[in-house]
């Protein structure tokens, strides 16, 4: 399934993207309850399927399986399509905008220097352990949201990445069991202010600016990703390809990262892991290239859609 967080009429809800439309699983369940003559069907449905992504993921894969069944049920239901649209069960493209799939993760972990070619272009030695840093959750935005160009720096860089979304609590997890704890995968952009990144050894001051963590447009659930290592990542700036690499080039794979991180602290449902960027960033080019207002960043990974964000002046 392609899980999304969407906004419509000022309200934020979770949904499943079906072609270009969204099916709202909570309202779909309410329809099912109504057809079975339950009282207060919507209130009952909201207790079973939360309307925000963190609470949904916390309920685990059983709830995701129930949602999958609901989507199939809606697609075969004889209720007129117009009524489903009026009841907010089906949302045509003009009726919503997409937010980040997990708008405010509890934790946003990120991994640096995790592709061999990227380590080479940045003139860094290959790390013995994963290079872990954090991005504050307030930097997260969705597809279509502008990236703010800072007033105090012109060294704004792109980094396309595969993001892992955790599906249940994980502590002291062995690599061979790690995928059992993953809800799914999505595109991510680790937008970086390079000169501010060098202000501290932790990199955090260059990695967590507002709007510098675009993700989405959806979470592809792990049951639809038989092997994430078969995926391919590409980043385009103004439709010009800048990065292209198979995810299999990761130095520390997803299983290793989950084992390493969960040794130190508990990973929770909705936590996001940016797994690292391949070669092709602006800083490493000759001459160096930086993002400017008006530029468009597009990140695409096989099956995960297109994450598209335009750079604008901070003051705008």
- Predicted confidence (pLDDT) per residue in 191-220, tens digit: 999 999 999 999 999 999 999 999 999 999
* Residue pair 169/106 in contact by the 8 Å Cβ criterion: no
CATH class of the domain defined by 108-313: alpha beta
Please report, for the chain, the start and end positions of each structural domain, with discontinuous segments joined by +. 2-98, 108-313
CATH class of the domain defined by 2-98: mainly beta
Report, in angstroms and rounded to the nearest whole number, the Rg of the chain calculated over CA atoms: 20
Q: In what order do the strands lie in the sheet with 232-237?
A: 147-149, 306-313, 296-301, 232-237, 240-246
Helix (H) or strand (E) holding 38: none
Q: Return per-residue pLDDT of the chain as tens, 316 residues.
A: 999 999 998 899 999 999 999 999 999 999 999 998 888 999 999 999 999 999 999 999 999 999 999 999 999 988 899 999 999 999 999 999 999 999 999 999 999 999 988 888 888 888 999 999 999 999 999 999 999 999 999 999 999 999 999 999 999 999 999 999 999 999 999 999 999 999 999 999 999 999 999 999 999 999 999 999 999 999 999 999 999 999 999 999 999 999 999 999 999 999 999 999 999 999 999 999 999 999 999 999 999 999 999 999 987 5
- Is 0.85 surpassed by the pTM of this model? yes
């Amino acid at each position: 399934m392609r899980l999304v967080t969407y906004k419509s009429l000022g309200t934020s809800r979770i949904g499943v993207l079906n072609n270009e439309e969204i099916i709202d699983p909570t309202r779909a369940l309410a329809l099912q309850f109504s057809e079975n003559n339950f009282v207060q069907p919507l209130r009952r449905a909201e207790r079973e399927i939360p309307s925000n992504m963190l609470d949904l993921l916390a309920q685990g894969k059983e709830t995701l399986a129930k949602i999958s069944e609901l989507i199939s049920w809606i697609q075969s239901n004889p209720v007129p399509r117009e009524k489903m649209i009026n009841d907010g069960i089906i949302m045509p493209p003009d009726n919503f905008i997409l937010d980040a799939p997990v708008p405010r993760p509890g934790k946003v972990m990120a991994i640096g220097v995790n592709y061999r070619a990227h380590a080479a272009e940045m003139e860094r030695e290959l790390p013995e352990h994963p290079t872990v840093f954090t991005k504050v959750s307030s930097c997260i935005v969705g597809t279509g949201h502008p990236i703010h160009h800072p007033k105090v720096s012109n060294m704004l860089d792109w980094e396309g990445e595969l993001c892992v979304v955790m599906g249940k609590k994980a502590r002291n997890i062995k690599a061979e069991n790690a995928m059992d704890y993953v809800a799914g995968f999505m595109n991510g952009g680790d937008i970086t202010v390079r000169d501010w990144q060098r202000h501290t050894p932790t990199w955090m001051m260059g990695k967590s600016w507002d709007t510098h963590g675009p993700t989405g447009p959806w979470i592809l659930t792990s049951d639809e990703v038989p092997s994430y290592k078969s995926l391919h990542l590409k980043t385009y700036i103004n439709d010009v390809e800048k990065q292209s690499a198979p995810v299999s080039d990761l130095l520390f794979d997803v299983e290793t990262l989950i084992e390493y991180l969960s040794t130190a602290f508990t990973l929770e449902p909705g936590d996001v892991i940016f797994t690292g960027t391949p070669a092709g960033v602006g800083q490493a080019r000759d001459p160096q290239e930086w993002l400017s207002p008006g530029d468009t960043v597009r990140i695409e990974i096989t099956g995960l859609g297109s994450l598209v964000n335009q750079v604008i002046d901070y003051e705008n």
